[in-house]
Amino acid sequence: MSANIKIKRGLNIKLTGEAAKSVINLSPPEIFAIKPPDFTGLTPKLLVKEGDEVQAGSPLFYDKNNEAVKFSSPVSGEVAEIVRGHKRRIMEIKILGDKENRYVPFNKANPNDLSREEITEALLNSGTWPFIRQRPFGTVANPAEKPKSIFISAFDSNPLAPDINFIMQDNDPDFQTGLDALKKLTDGKIHLNVADDAATSTVFTNAKGVIINKISGPHPAGNVGVQIHHIDPVNKGEAVWYINPQDVLIIGRLFSAGKYEASRVIALTGSQVNAPAYYNSIVGSSVKYIIDSNGLKDGENRIISGNILSGNQISAYGYLGFYDTQITVVPEGHEFEFMGWLMPGFNKYSMSRAFFSWLKPGKEYKLDTNLHGEERPFVMTGQYEKVFPMDIYPVQLLKSILIEDIDMMEKLGIYEVVEEDFALCEFVCTSKIKSQEIIRRGLDLVRKEFG
């Protein structure tokens, strides 16, 4: 039975720089990169070396802890460089792309005619398996296990987030094929969650074999972790899988076209972008060709792969994260503010009424990366609870991680969260605590303890 979930706690942050509803086609960039650090808990083992020729769908590396999980090249071309970091950790596998993609041929098939084992094998061999992640821990799903359910969030409530309904239009066949494949991976339900306060694409409303749940409320209503918490919570020893709608299309194309076509529509957003818009792109694309085609406003800018709350900072010559469908560009905010907090702050954002900007509830803001202070003692303020819509004590969970009390972490709900679930807590925190880093530290500690 479908659910109607109303989220009351949270915070919508209205920013300038939303992408216009138009998709721009550009010539593909010359270079792409797959970044092993994008995959939590991964120990990569290379299958290629510099100078090797690859096709779209050729495996680049596999997970040393689970050799069945392969990670494939999104394009054809030459392995141009393997970038290593501290202790020779593999940071990037760069591929000099061909002008026209060549694909590793995979078998076309109707997922309804295949067994779970056959579908799993096809996803693993093609490199599309890593698009499926799991809670707890936010890692790539374990193909040897069966999840109790699979979740797909059909909307994103983050600031300046891409409009998934717009992106997914006219993709009904591939989306349904992807759903048919996912259905074979679980004995439970597939939960397709849509926004209750917006028009929903027929791609979602016409989907078969899924439970369509309606979610309403402020951000983080679109976060899949919040949806899992309210519909099918994760307990110790259980696993729930989740996947982005555009990645369901990639799986669908694997079976309908017999190739690993890792194309995506991404949104270039932010107050420092001249003309925010949507672009046809490919997983791991260089962001420079998109930014150069549009242009940025003058000043020192921060480029983020992902959203402004939980994305990762990259350089102008960086690459899209494996799971990211958004590029955000905002000012760094190093400029000195005359009289700072003493000014009325008509153009300053605040979740409280500290500034007179509360008199304009619909105003869009141009935020920068200035912290407006430094880290302070971690005290109880009640701010976290106002924006954290889970039945979990967020401050107590963070403090249990800081003292590495695994038993307490389990009791307080560590299995239900990942970093993005604490992004708003970090945003509103007057103590400037890096909540997302702490949550990842706790998750890694528990994962290493219990394997």
pLDDT in tens, 343-367: 555 567 776 766 656 556 667 878 8
Closest CA to 180 of 258, 251, 111: 111
Contact 300, 369 (CB under 8 A): no
CA 152 to chain centre: 12
Count Cβ atoms below 10 Å from residue 45 Cβ, excluding itself.
12
Q: pLDDT at position 345, please?
A: 58
* pLDDT beneath 70: ranges in the chain: 335-347, 351, 353-362, 451
Taking only the tens place, the pLDDT of each residue in 407-418 is 999 999 999 999
Query: Per the omega criterion (within 30 degrees of 0), is the bond before 220 cis?
Result: yes
Q: pLDDT at position 35, please?
A: 98
Strands of the sheet containing 139-140, edge to edge, are 4-6, 211-216, 189-195, 149-153, 240-242, 133-135, 139-140
Q: pLDDT at position 451, please?
A: 64
Query: What predicted TM-score, i.e. pTM, was given to this entire model?
Result: 0.94
Q: pLDDT at position 309, please?
A: 96
